[in-house]
A and B are shown apart, each in its own frame.
Chain A
Amino acid sequence: MSALASTESPAASGPPVPIGSAVQVSAPKLLEAIEISKRFPGVQALDGVNFDLAHGEIHVLFGENGAGKSTLINVIAGTYPPDGGRLFYEGQELRHLSPHHARLIGVSPVFQEFSLVPDLTVAQNLSLGREIARFGFLRAAQMRRRAENLLAELGFDLDPRKTVRALSRAHQQMVEIAKALVSDVRLLILDEPTASLTERETQRLFGLIERLRRENVGIIYVSHRMREIKQLADRITVLRDGKLIGSRKASEVSESELLEMMTGRKIEFLFPAIEHKPREKALQTTGLSVGGVVAEVDFHAHVGEITGIAGLVGCGKSELIRAIYGLEPLTAGSVQVNGTPCEQISPTLSLSRGVCYFPADRVAEGLALERPIRENVSLVALRLPLLSTYGWIRRGAERRLTRQIIERLQLRPPSPERTVAHLSGGNRQKVMLARGLTRDFQVFLFDEPTIGIDVGAKIEVYNFMKTLVEAGAAIVLVSSELPEVLHLSNRVYVMHHGRMVAELGGKEITEQNVLARFFQDSSKGAAG
């Protein structure tokens, strides 16, 4: 039943075209998306985007976070309908596409959020919706064998009897991919699949992709990582701010061209020039461990400079700064702020010590979406004398402060009473960053600060960081966006499997150096 077994040529392929001739114009493409538009509250996610995919083609969808890639593939996979435009699949128009229907016709998406049931086994998940049963009774042995065969074919070393919850994220992703290939796949969508894979797993994935291509499966590969694209793509489509910027053959476009299309500006202007003047140590950790995620990390950051931490998704860099702030439990080691060791660590204490943390997931941890901008801005400072006396809120002061900050951060629309839920991603991020201006902070911990926001907003965030650091703060920047870390930091740490494997400064900070360290195991061995 797997897509890998059969190689039937697409039914409606038109008159045979002699080998060596030009592009088959008469054969209907696997997928054609015409003038697709989609709007969400506060943001135009897609604006008249055209996209097409041929059989056996690997078509990369390239662009920043927030460019519209996710939205487009969700429309293609049937998660939600477009507000405007039309979709054609094998020449037939698709109307009222549902997620299930999409899968039935051979569209298999592998998203970043997995569609796995955590408390069922791998075999059960792979068979979900297509159980082998007689009179409603499961034939468990058969299903398990089917799962084993599939996994073996794909070269995945997984035990089908294990519960999904017990697997690592990388293994869960393998199950998700296997699930996508379980039925007849004609169109595979991969959304940033290598985010948490090791080099070896990534190469294995690429091998799999190559096999599928030979089976004439069309593949949409979503990424914003240059090196993957070089290795895989036939064609590249670049999106920015929901609009189609251009579609090129991979062989006919250069890296710098792609970057320029992606960001809309020359790369030099994306990142501001920052004058680092490192002074005393503001933050230091010694032998810090968090469960099986962070192991014995020694780390320090200075006032007046940006210290970057780079590494793959899941390497523990987020957990490191969260532990410093008090959101993850320390199992070993210690933290010093401004030279003073911290006996107890909690968000409240960190704030009072002048440490501010901006969470990676602003919707889940940073903002109260239903509340107005004013209440979100004052979130960390409400109990301070400026805004309240003995528990009584000084509404006037709060309003004034909010207006000042709206002005300074150029928040649009500039009304303090606007509900945050109705703001765009970039403006929401600004509301969250606003808290940094409401109190006396010396240390700012940025956790993936530019996820899901447009280029314009990104530049504003970078400038915000610039002002903070040049005014004398210490910034720790944790990011999976390598260019960000490279261009903004004065010193760069690299983490791998929970350990600090490198500390680079000055001229050592290059893409090659950092990347090489991404997969390096330190002499101490991996954590957990």
Chain B
Amino acid sequence: MSVTSVERVALMERLSARLGVVGLIPFLLVLIVIGMTLVEPRFYSLANLFNILRNTSFLAIMACGQMLVMIVGGMDLSVGATAALASVVAAKVMAGATEAFGVDPAAAMSLGIFISIGSAAAVGLLNGLCSALLRVPSLIVTLGTLSIVSGITLMMTSGMPVYGLPQSFITGFGRALWWGVPAPAYVAVAVVGAVWLVQRKTVLGTYIYAIGGNPLAAIVSGISATFYVVLTFVLCALLAGVTGLLITAQMGSGQTNLGGDRLMLLSIAAAVIGGTSLRGGIGRAEIVGLSALFLSTLTNALNLLRINSKKELVVLGVVVVAAVAIDSLGRGKAAVE
């Protein structure tokens, strides 16, 4: 019996498909937790766990947005920049409203949130329209908007943080503990839950899967692909904006650079490790949430082990490649264009 080299690959494919990256996550998570408890006791402190929880919340929300865009067959590189934009806009509006016009903090916050989310949605609209109408691959579009939005944010702040946020926004929300749990966690659970609901139980969810799975089938069934693609990009940008707001509330000031590149990379990693296919049509919010937890735990562990943020990028890079490799290999020949 002669065995071809192709067969060896097929064997590897079957193995990876069975394991899948998704199946590995709980296992890896437990591994990290055990490892860290042995090596670094600070890992288990309440403050640190809350830290992980907050970071997971930020990442989960952004990753859900990224997942939606991926399901529809695209990718959004501008999420980090959009989060920063939301952050800066919110801060400027809130600070401006209270200082210049003596508006009461609650109104200032509402106004700030509203306008900031609006600006994020505008970015999403731009992304969506260029992708769907101009027929430019979303990869390139969002590479472009990344630049554009960063530019705008820098112009608004000249690179400096924006202070003057109402205290209640920071202490009452961003850094607060509601019933003993960091406030952002509630927002994250609500968001992931909402996305899960939409995916499983609504027409919108079905349409997003359909457009990603077989766009021709969707169009032929009368689904307006353009409308839903644009909507998806807007949703993604909105979620990025929400993340920006949460981070702003926690940091206490509007930030031009929310570690933008890093967050963007993490959101893609979380989505892919969470089982979202780069080919479109597949992705589940609850698993993406889980993978966000995994990645946040990982980065936290790296941080505690005093691997500085720059080297962390290196580790992240390797993790992403590994995750996608396992996913691709599991998919077999389909991965070759």
Given contacts A129-B221, A136-B204, A118 and B213 within 8 Å (CB-CB): yes
Also in contact, A128 and B7, with CB within 8 A (given A117-B281, A330-B2, A342-B2): no
Find A117's partner among B6, B203, B204, B214 (CB 8 Å cutoff).
Answer: B214
- Residues of chain B from 11 to 43 with CB closer than 8 A to chain A in the complex: none
- B201–A138 contact, CB under 8 A? yes
Is A284 in the interface zone, CB < 8 Å from B? no
Look across to chain B and name the residue whose beta carbon is closest to the beta carbon of A331.
B7
B2 touches A103 (CB 8 A): no
CB distance from B205 to the nearest CB of A (A): 8
- Which A residue sits closest to B210, measured CB to CB? A117
Answer whether residue A228 sits at the interface, using C-beta atoms and an 8 A cutoff.
Answer: no
A321 CA to B2 CA in the complex, in Å? Answer: 16
Residues on the A chain within 8 Å of B204, using CB: 136
Cα(A345)–Cα(B7), bound, Å: 10
Contact with B along A324-346 (1 / 0, CB 8 A): 00111111111100000111111
The distance from the CB of A290 to the nearest CB of chain B, in whole angstroms, is 10
Is A37's beta carbon under 8 Å from chain B? no
Contacts of B222 in A (CB 8 A): 100, 103-104, 129
User: Does A481 lie at the interface of the complex (its beta carbon under 8 Å from any beta carbon of B)?
Assistant: no
Instruction: Indicate whether A370 reaches chain B with its CB closer than 8 angstroms.
Output: no
In the complex, whether A124 has a CB less than 8 A from a CB of chain B is yes
Q: Is the interface of A mostly helix, strand, loop or mixed?
A: loop
Report B219 CB to chain A, min CB distance, Å.
7
Structural contact, B220 and A345, CB atoms closer than 8 A? no
Given the known inter-chain contacts A103-B222, A136-B202, please indicate yes or no for A120 contacting B209, CB distance below 8 A: yes
In the assembled complex, A142 has its CB within 8 A of some CB on chain B: no
A118/B281 in contact, CB under 8 A: yes
In the assembled complex, the CB of B277 is this many whole angstroms from the nearest CB of chain A, namely: 9
Find out whether the CB atom of B202 lies under 8 angstroms from the CB atom of A118: no
List B residues 39-82 near A (Cβ within 8 Å): none
Would B214 and A118 count as touching, CB distance under 8 A?
yes
Which residues of chain A are within 8 angstroms of B209 by Cβ–Cβ distance?
Answer: 117, 119-120
Partner of A329, one of B6, B201, B203, B219: B6
List of B residues within 8 angstroms of A149 by Cβ: none
Contacting residues, chain B, for A133 (C-beta < 8 A): 202-203
Contact present for A128 and B201 (CB under 8 Å): no
- Let me know if B282 is at the binding interface, CB within 8 A: yes
Cβ contact within 8 Å between A330 and B7 = yes
Q: Hey, which chain B residues are within 8 Å of A314, CB to CB?
A: none
A366 within 8 A of partner (CB): no
Are A344 and B7 neighbours in the complex by a CB distance under 8 Å?
no
Q: Is the CB of B218 within 8 A of A334?
A: no
- Could you tell me how many residues of chain B have their Cβ less than 8 Å away from some Cβ of chain A? 28
Note all chain B residues with C-beta closer than 8 A to A335: 2
Q: How far is the CB of B14 from chain A (nearest CB, A)?
A: 10
Query: Does any Cβ of A come within 8 Å of B100's Cβ?
Result: no
Q: Is A99 close to B, CB under 8 A?
A: yes
Nearest-neighbour CB distance to chain B for A296, whole angstroms, equals: 12
Contacts between chains A and B (CB distance < 8 A), count: 97
Is B4 an interface position by the 8 A CB rule?
yes
Question: Mask for A301-333, Cβ within 8 A of B = 1, else 0?
Answer: 000000000000000000000000011111111
Chain A residues near B170 (CB-CB < 8 A): none
Tell me, in angstroms, the Cα distance from A346 to B221 when the chains sit together.
42
Min CB distance A181 to B, Å, is 14
Q: Find out whether the CB atom of B213 lies under 8 angstroms from the CB atom of A119.
A: yes
For residues 88 through 127 of chain A, which have their beta carbon under 8 Å from a beta carbon of chain B?
99-100, 103-104, 114-120, 124-125
User: Which residues of chain B from 170 to 209 have a CB within 8 Å of any chain A CB?
Assistant: 201-204, 206, 209
- A227 nearest CB across to chain B (Å): 31
Q: Is B133's beta carbon under 8 Å from chain A?
A: no
Q: Tell yes or no: B217 within 8 A of A by CB.
A: yes
Check B4 against A115 for contact (C-beta < 8 Å). Answer: no
Q: Is B335 interfacial (CB 8 A cutoff)?
A: no
**Chain B residues closer than 8 Å to A125, beta-carbon distance:** 217
B10 lies within 8 A of chain A by Cβ? yes
Partner of A128, one of B6, B10, B221: B221
Question: What is the CA–CA distance of A137 and B204 in the complex, to the nearest angstrom?
Answer: 9
Is B1 among interface residues, defined by CB-CB distance under 8 A?
Answer: yes
Please give, as numbers and ranges, the residues of chain B lying within 8 Å of A333 by CB-CB distance: 1-2
A129 with B223: in contact, given A138-B201, A341-B2 (CB under 8 Å)? yes
Query: Which residues from B are CB-within-8-Å of A116?
Result: 214, 217
Determine whether the beta carbon of A124 is less than 8 Å from that of B6: no
Q: Which of A100, A124, A136, A330 contacts B219 (CB 8 A)?
A: A100
| Known contacts A120-B210, A330-B3; A131/B203 CB under 8 A | yes
With A117-B213, A118-B214 as known contacts, state yes or no: A131 contacts B206, CB within 8 Å. yes
Kindly state whether residue B5 has any CB partner on chain A within 8 Å. Answer: yes
Q: How far is the CA of A100 from the CA of B217 in the complex (A)?
A: 10
- Cα A114 to Cα B214 with chains together (Å): 10
A337 vs B103: C-alpha distance when bound (angstroms): 87
Is B1 a contact of A115 with CB atoms below 8 Å? no
Complex contacts, B10 vs chain A, CB 8 Å: 329
B220 touches A343 (CB 8 A): no
Is A128 a contact partner of B217 (Cβ separation < 8 A)? yes
Closest chain B residue, CB of each to CB of A176: B217
Q: Do the beta carbons of A138 and B2 come within 8 Å of each other? A: no
Residues of B118-170 contacting chain A, CB below 8 A: none
Residues 232 to 269 of chain A near chain B (Cβ within 8 Å): none
B1 & A137 in contact (Cβ 8 Å cutoff): no
Q: How far is the CA of A120 from the CA of B217 in the complex (A)?
A: 12
Whether the pair A138, B206 counts as a contact (CB closer than 8 A) is yes
What is the bound-complex CA distance between A128 and B221, given in angstroms? 6
**Inside 8 A of B223's CB, which chain A residues have their CB?**
128-129
How far is A116 from B220 in the complex, measured between Cα atoms in Å?
10
Is the C-beta of B307 less than 8 angstroms from some C-beta in chain A?
Answer: no
> Which among B5, B206, B220 is the interface contact of A124 at CB below 8 angstroms?
B206
Minimum CB distance partner of A125 in chain B: B217
B1 lies within 8 A of A128 (CB) = no
Cβ contact within 8 Å between B221 and A100: yes
- Chain B: residues with CB nearer than 8 A to chain A? 1-7, 9-10, 201-204, 206, 209-210, 213-214, 216-223, 281-282
- Chain A positions within 8 Å of B, measured between CB atoms, are 99-100, 103-104, 114-120, 124-125, 128-131, 133, 136-138, 140, 326-335, 341-346
13 additional contacts (CB under 8 A) given A128-B218, A345-B6? A103-B221, A117-B218, A119-B213, A120-B209, A120-B210, A129-B218, A129-B222, A138-B203, A140-B201, A329-B10, A331-B7, A343-B2, A345-B2
Give 11 CB contacts A-B under 8 Å.
Answer: A103-B222, A118-B281, A120-B209, A129-B223, A130-B221, A136-B202, A140-B201, A329-B4, A330-B7, A334-B2, A344-B2
